[in-house]
Amino acid sequence: MAARLLTQLRHHFTTANRHHFLSPQLLRPISSAGLFFRRSSDVAQPLPKDLTTSEETLPPTLSKPKISFNGAKDSVKSSLNEGELAKFSAIAETWWDAKGPFKPLHALNPTRLAFIRSTLCHHFRKDPNCARPFEGLKFVDVGCGGGILSEPLARMGATVTGVDAVDKNIKIARLHAESDPATSSIEYLCTTAEKLVEEQRQFDAVLALEVIEHVADPAEFCKSLAALTVPNGATMISTINRTMRAYATAIVAAEYVLHWLPKGTHEWSKFLTPEELVLILKRTSVTVQEMAGFVYNPLSGKWLLSDDIGVNFIAYGTKSSEE
Ligand SMILES: C[S@@+](CC[C@H](N)C(=O)[O-])C[C@H]1O[C@@H](n2cnc3c(N)ncnc32)[C@H](O)[C@@H]1O
């Protein structure tokens, strides 16, 4: 196993250096502002000097996809990465098995919901102590999977639309939601953020948790998320930081040692640093207002909210008042 890990490690770092899509110039404004760095050991891995954003230098997963959703010719860039979607399709039946491959998401759910509840109640001036604070608000959960996040959001009163590119996920999500009147009104659609933009849908809050590291083009994906957010609305994204510590914990430990996730679930080179995410969102007129880290406590088996954004982190942003 040690040899396999070494090969993996070498592969990840060489592909990361060849394949990253953001140029160092793009990062300067954010990193020089000193924003969001928490620990010197977690300083994001530097990007190679020779990177450009031209199509020729992009790896297949970051360049424009040749195939489009459901075989149709798309007029907009697709966020779909077929390889990533196949991974989720293969384990779709296990979404609601709290001890299965989605165990980490089930364990993380109460912690991320605490952050979402607190920031969005503040944002929409709602009482966080009320049972259904999101009553009257429209939320979209992009990359909803089996509905682990959509369901509690609906229970908190939001009118929820859950979308996922994998049909099997949507079928599982619908089936599960139907069993409870509090969640049966969730609108589940097998589609993408960019398709919803084409349909001119908009939502008070747009959430994409643990999805951006699986899409074909994160910048285009964020553009769609921003377009789906109403002016003055909220955008929420969670993902994994591109640090050495994230490689050690989110890939080596979670996939190879603890077997929490199927091997190959994550590619280190596709992770974004908080600074990159802030910059990408800023270009879509979404300003990140707050970030938090999720830290796993192996003794309690629980995730905690933390200011350590070195591995798992969540960002809450607001869309400017002008379209
Ligand atoms: C790690 S799961 C996260 C699920 C859910 N957001 C959560 O945190 O509980 C990633 C999900 O994103 C979906 N996905 C990946 N790329 C997508 C895309 N371009 N558009 C819509 N869904 C996508 C996958 O099918 C999968 O269900």
pLDDT digits (tens, 9 = 90+) for 89-143: 999 999 999 999 999 999 999 999 999 999 999 999 999 999 999 999 999 999 9
Higher-pLDDT residue of 251, 23: 251
> In this structure, is residue 191 part of a structural domain?
yes
Helix, strand, coil share (%) of the chain residues, nearest 5:
40, 20, 40
What confidence score (pLDDT) does residue 301 get? 85
Rounded Cα distance between 105 and 323, Å, is 33
pLDDT over threshold 80, residue 63? no
39 is in an annotated binding site: no
Residue 105 is assigned to a structural domain of this protein:
yes
Question: What's the rounded Cα separation, in Å, for the pair 17 and 209?
Answer: 25
On whether residue 100 sits in a domain, the answer given is yes
User: Ligand 1: distance of its center to the CA of 3 in Å?
Assistant: 31
Asked if the structure places residue 306 within a domain, the reply is: yes
Ligand 1 centroid from CA 87, angstroms: 11
In which order are the strands placed within the sheet that holds 187-190?
187-190, 159-164, 138-142, 203-209, 229-240, 312-319, 286-297, 302-306
Q: Is residue 66 part of a domain?
A: no
Q: What's residue 146's pLDDT?
A: 98
Q: Does any domain span residue 43?
A: no
Give me the CATH number covering residue 159.
3.40.50.150
Residue 193 lies in a domain: yes
Strands (E), the chain: 138-142, 159-164, 187-190, 203-209, 229-240, 286-297, 302-306, 312-319
Which residue ranges have their beta carbon within 6 Å of ligand 1?
Answer: 79-80, 84-85, 88, 105, 142-145, 148-149, 164-166, 169, 192, 209-211, 214-215
Q: In the chain, pLDDT over 90 holds for what percent of residues?
A: 66
Is 176 within any annotated ligand binding site?
A: no
Give the per-residue pLDDT at 96: 97
Q: How many angstroms is it from 150 CA to the middle of ligand 1?
A: 12
Range of the domain at 292: 79-240+268-319
The conformation of residue 64, written as its DSSP 8-state character, comes to -
The predicted structure's pLDDT at residue 214: 94
Task: Tell me if 258 is assigned to some domain.
Answer: no
Is 199 within any annotated ligand binding site? Answer: no
pLDDT at residue 40 above 80? no
Beta bridge partners of 164: 190
Does 135 show up as a binding residue in the annotation? no
What pLDDT does 30 receive? 34
Mean pLDDT of the chain: 82
User: What domain count does the chain have?
Assistant: 1
CA of 49 to the centre of ligand 1 (A): 31
* Percent of residues, the chain, with pLDDT higher than 70: 76
Position with higher pLDDT, 31 vs 262: 262
Identify whether the C-beta of residue 67 lies closer than 8 Å to the C-beta of residue 82. Answer: yes
